Amino acid sequence: MNGFPLIFRALIVGPARRHPVRVLLPIIGVAIGVAAVAAIHHANRSVSASFRDAASAVSGRSDFVVTGVAGVPVADLAALSFLWPLGAFAPAVTGTAVIDDGTREVAQILGIDYGGDAAIRDIRVVSPENRSEQARLLAGHAVFVPSPFAARHHLSSGSPLRIVAGGVRRSVTVAGLLELSGLAQAAGGDILVTDIFTAQALLGKRGLVDRVDIVLHPGVSRKETAREIAKRLPAGLSLEPPGRAATTADRMVRAFRFNLNALGSLTLLVGIFLIANAVSIAVLRRRPEIATLRAIGASPAGIFVAFLAEGLFIGLAGTCIGEILGLFVSRAALKAVAGTVSSVYLPTARITGTGYTGAFSLSAAVGIAASLLATLLPAFEATAVAPSPAMRPGSIEGIANRRLGFRTGLAAAALAAALAFSRARPVDGFPLFGFAAVGLVVVALALAAPLLVSLAAALPGRLVSRLFGAEGRLATGFFRGGLVRNGIAVTALAMALGMTLAMIVTVASIRETVHLWVESTLRSDLWIKADAGGRSGIVGDLPPEIVPFLAAVEGVEAVDPFRAREAIDAAGHPFTLGSGDFRVVARVGGLPLLDGRDSRAVAVAARERGEVLVSEPYARRFDARSGGTVVLATPSGPRAFRVAGIYRDYSNDRGTVVMDRALYLSLFGDARVTSAAVLAQPGTDANDLRRRILSASEGRYALTISTNRELRREALAIFDRTFAVTRSLEAIAIAVAILGIANALVASAVERRRSFGLLRAIGASGNQIRRATTLEAMLIGATGTLASIAAGTAFAWLLLCVINPQSFGWTVALRVPPTTLTGAVALVLAASFLAGIVPGSIAAAVDPAAALQEE
């Protein structure tokens, strides 16, 4: 392109050298956005990779895995004997244990057929090297542990190791050490490998295995054999690909990950807005130069490419800084995300950081692409600068007035499209249209901003003029005179503050809803689970005998044993299958139904008729209706159940189907207990009862017992931890937006040097100009705040009524926390006042003679 270097210097490099801060601010904005995207993407990738690695370490070389809805009965393995000539198969028992040596770490237990497993999984024993000795050591309650695990826990071959498994304290012997490869890498190396029988005994799964891995000889048709296996498998067993476990785990947390990605993108969106802001202001400011260039024969393409190159430069510089920043931020993000995944979704998940390269590449691509995207519109606008009128001083803002009607029409169209998008169904469970609607509201806001400035200048402007005299008049004039420039600042503020207000309302609403739900559902006095090593979730089951044991303790009125196990539907979508004693529900209620019916009466009827209750997220995800049917896989084959009612549940976003324990036992034969709720007899103190239970269980069971109050507190603590990442991202977004306001105001002050010089020349004092400029900043802040309330209402509605139900399946009651909202608004107004100080000083310091001599 002929003469391009000179065009680039005239329009971009020269001004950037003269006012580097104006380029620096959007660079910082992009850097923060890229860092947020990189960190969140890295954390999310680490979660997926950890699931995948764990699943692949256990699956080894298997071609298929046989699983059962209630485990695979060992007796059913005979059905697979036809596979011997075609390949090999190896059963395995899986579970979790808490290491009871003071570290309270959680480890995975894997029971395998030590003799025949080598065909499937790689196990390398480091010591003892003698194979017969290895077999001998496995005879008792012995386990192999990976060498790093052994080193960390000061173990060697023959060492005793105390664990809590199946809700019982036990002692096992370390049979030997494993090299940290193959199977030993499952659960991040925190694994106890033992034989099937020991694992069954430790985990209370006698007569059952959890999976059977199958590997076929080379040349054997996978397709035909799979068909044959499926044909021979008894009811209740199914054949699935080896990666299914990882996919299922990934699906469990995908709504959480999706929302994190969306919030990370929000930060980048604010960064993009900063670039668009900076380049738009640059185009406005350099209209005379653009017009001159056009007048002397520069083509529109040259002008376009120059501004696009500026966006590219900002994007590249911001991305480079953001990637370095992301390296540090990603560690904190990984810790926060891993914490949420293990406390809310999968307590036994071991999340380890994966390579940064993927996150690096993606965030770099997103950062640069977003920067170019942000520049496209203003660069295109630059090409539309006509050479003639723009060359006259003072013509910069003239065009904006003429486009007000057009822009307002477009804004209305964007809002209408947002409304239409908000009614669209989720795409594969993701609220894509909901987020698109949020984007359209942002677009509408940006388009309507000059109109808002125009209206704000007409209404409060008069008040400001009256209150602050000459400075007020000046401020109003400045404000109205910069429709586009101030419109950009107003939009940046309204977008960031609106999103923050919406997030405040959303989080407060969900928290209050969860609080009320916890209050209404937790009717028991004590909640008992297997010792989880201090973790908030469930780690391991309790044995069936725990129910009569608890019932026999003095002061116990009733025990509600709850059983929950992960299940998948025919399409592979995960949900939770649960059972409880509906007789207890019939007594105390505590299962709030969506339709407002009394859950006690519904539980009685459901127990009598063999019906199920489903949670609200389940109903949303699987289109279940009260009075309709759901089909569940049972050991005796698929079976339809009538839905007696839909209950509110905020503990699980995958959805839960609950049936009476008696029905569950008859269908699944699984008597183990996930947790137990205990009702104390009237007049019995819950803390006393806890002491009695712990005392009675001493030496038999390893239990964690929470009182009702502790459990409620814990539920809210988990909630707060889950939203900690959200709050950090909000804070980042608003910080970036304040940078944007400062950027717009500084640019505005620099651009109006001539006007300030003129004002000084006709007698305005530096202080008067400073006050007028600060008042203008306050007007921008106030207008932006008003706009943010409108935008925030739209965002909050979309988040609470569209995105949240589509992501998590929860209905949330609106709650507006006035103190927090007022605080946020006051903070932003104060920030806009502070943002006006620097440009105020610039304006006040203008030398009238020099400014008037400038072109």
Partner 1 sequence: MLCFRGSGRPNSNSEFSILNSQFSISTYSPIVPSDASPAPAVSCRGLRKIYAGAEPVVALDGVDLEVVGGEFLALVGASGSGKSTLLHLLGGIDRPTAGQIRVAGREIGRLSENELVLYRRREVGMVFQFFNLLAHLTVLENVELPRRLDGHADAAASARRLLERVGLLRRAGAHPYELSGGEMQRVAIARALVTGARLLLADEPTGNLDSRNGEIVLELLDEIRRERGVTLLLATHSSAAASHADRTAMVKDGKVSGSSSLVSGGTKPGTRNPKPETS
Q: Which is nearer to partner 1, 314 or 321 (CB)?
A: 314
Determine the Cα–Cα distance for residues 421 and 431; give it in Å rounded to an integer: 10
Residue 789 class from Cβ within 10 Å (0-12 exposed, 13-18 middle, 19+ buried)? middle
Closest to 63 (Cα-Cα) out of 4, 141, 119, 139: 119
Least distance between partner 1 and beta carbon 450 (Å)? 17
Preceding peptide of 85 cis, ω within 30°: no
Least distance between partner 1 and beta carbon 404 (Å)? 12
Number of Cβ within 10 Å of residue 466's Cβ equals 10
Q: Which is nearer to partner 1, 17 or 227 (CB)?
A: 17
Residues at the contact surface with partner 1, assessed by CB under 8 A = 2-3, 6-7, 9-11, 13-15, 17-18, 288-289, 291-300, 302, 386-389, 391, 393, 402, 854-855
Determine the Cα–Cα distance for residues 35 and 29; give it in Å rounded to an integer: 10
Least distance between partner 1 and beta carbon 750 (Å)? 13
Least distance between partner 1 and beta carbon 296 (Å)? 5
187-207 per-residue burial string, b: 16 or more CB within 10 A, e: under 16: bbbbbbbbbbbbbbbbbbbee
Least distance between partner 1 and beta carbon 448 (Å)? 21
CA count, 13 A, side-chain hemisphere, 754: 8
Least distance between partner 1 and beta carbon 298 (Å)? 6
C-beta of residue 298 within 8 angstroms of C-beta of residue 764: no
For the chain, give percent helix, strand, coil, nearest 5: 60, 15, 20
Least distance between partner 1 and beta carbon 758 (Å)? 15
Determine the Cα–Cα distance for residues 529 and 539; give it in Å rounded to an integer: 8
C-beta of residue 12 within 8 angstroms of C-beta of residue 307: yes
Looking up tokens 């997030």 gives: 503
Least distance between partner 1 and beta carbon 275 (Å)? 21
Interacting residues of 452 by C-beta distance below 8 A, sequence separation 6+: 487, 490, 783, 786, 787
Least distance between partner 1 and beta carbon 16 (Å)? 9
Least distance between partner 1 and beta carbon 835 (Å)? 27
Residues comprising the chain, all counted? 855
Least distance between partner 1 and beta carbon 513 (Å)? 53
Q: Tell me if residue 337 falls in helix, strand or coil.
A: helix
Closest to 659 (Cα-Cα) out of 700, 711, 699, 618: 618
Number of Cβ within 10 Å of residue 423's Cβ equals 10
Least distance between partner 1 and beta carbon 390 (Å)? 10
C-beta of residue 39 within 8 angstroms of C-beta of residue 330: yes
Kind of pairing, strands 675-680 and 208-209? unpaired
Q: Which is nearer to partner 1, 234 or 300 (CB)?
A: 300
Determine the Cα–Cα distance for residues 199 and 142; give it in Å rounded to an integer: 10
Q: Which is nearer to partner 1, 296 or 571 (CB)?
A: 296
Write the CA distances from 755 to 396, 490, 774, 837, 846, integer angstroms.
13, 22, 16, 18, 10
Determine the Cα–Cα distance for residues 4 and 477; give it in Å rounded to an integer: 38
Q: Is the dihedral of CA 640, 642, 646, 649 positive or negative?
A: negative
Least distance between partner 1 and beta carbon 847 (Å)? 13
Least distance between partner 1 and beta carbon 838 (Å)? 23
Write the CA distances from 791 to 448, 492, 500, 785, 797, integer angstroms.
11, 12, 10, 10, 10
Q: Which is nearer to partner 1, 12 or 831 (CB)?
A: 12
164 forms beta bridges with 98, 169
